[in-house]
Amino acid sequence: MLKYFALIIFLAIPSVSSAGVTIHYSGKVSDISKVQQVLNGARTYAADRKWKVDSIRGGIKIHAHEWCEPIKLVFKGSALTEDFVKTQFAGPAVHKEVVGLFKAIKPLMRILEVEDECEYWETGDYEKLKANINKTNEVIKNHKAENPRLRGPSKLPSGLIVDLLE
């Protein structure tokens, strides 16, 4: 039987509790007629980067990179459903571009809340982003060294990425 470790391990390790490489997001448009504008803006941003975009119920799913979880922009009425995207294994350049997607749609939204565990959204500090990714990868490497049965990262059929598997 497989045991999944979604590096919530960070919660148990205070010195790296903020070192995750995931972007959490939610928001709201001023009225439902603006939803299509947001989705079209996101499609354009994705197309400019040659990212694959799938239509899904209530929105779109954007595939920025093989090792970046899909970015789901799904609306229920005027609300952008709360979600997250792990960019850790795609690298800092992809993380920066994913943050750029949210910056591109922000003017189309009444509210857009973004929590970037690497703080790139807030600071624009690319060196800090790279350092946080390196720190996270080092923690994973150390866990694997301590327990040779651990492997990862592993991609689930859903597109979600599990840091460590046993």
Specify if 13 maps to a domain.
Answer: no
**53 within domain boundaries:** yes
Residue 162 lies in a domain: no
Write down the pLDDT at residue 16: 31
Residue 122's pLDDT is: 96
Residue 14 has pLDDT above 50, yes or no: no
1 part of a folded domain = no
In a domain, 115, yes or no: yes
Give residue-wise pLDDT tens across range 17-32: 333 599 999 999 999 9
Whole-angstrom CA distances from 23 to 27, 30, 36, 147 are: 13, 23, 23, 28
Domain containing residue 126: 21-139
* Domain harbouring 91, CATH code: 3.30.310
Tell me, yes or no, whether 83 lies in a domain: yes
Question: Is residue 43 domain-resident?
Answer: yes
- Look at residue 165 in the predicted model and tell me its pLDDT: 84
d(CA 52, CA 36): 18
Domain count within the chain: 1
pTM: 0.86
pLDDT at residue 61 tops 70 = yes
Look at residue 59 and tell me if it is in a domain: yes
pLDDT of residue 162: 87
- The set of residues, in sequence order, having a beta carbon less than 8 Å from that of 114 and lying 6+ positions away, is 23, 24, 25, 99, 102, 121
Beta-sheet strands, E only, within 18-102: 22-28, 52-56, 59-63, 71-76, 79-86
Tell me: the pLDDT tens digits for 150-159?
888 989 898 8
Mean pLDDT of the chain: 88
Tokens of 119: 């703080």
pLDDT of 131 over the 50 cut:
yes
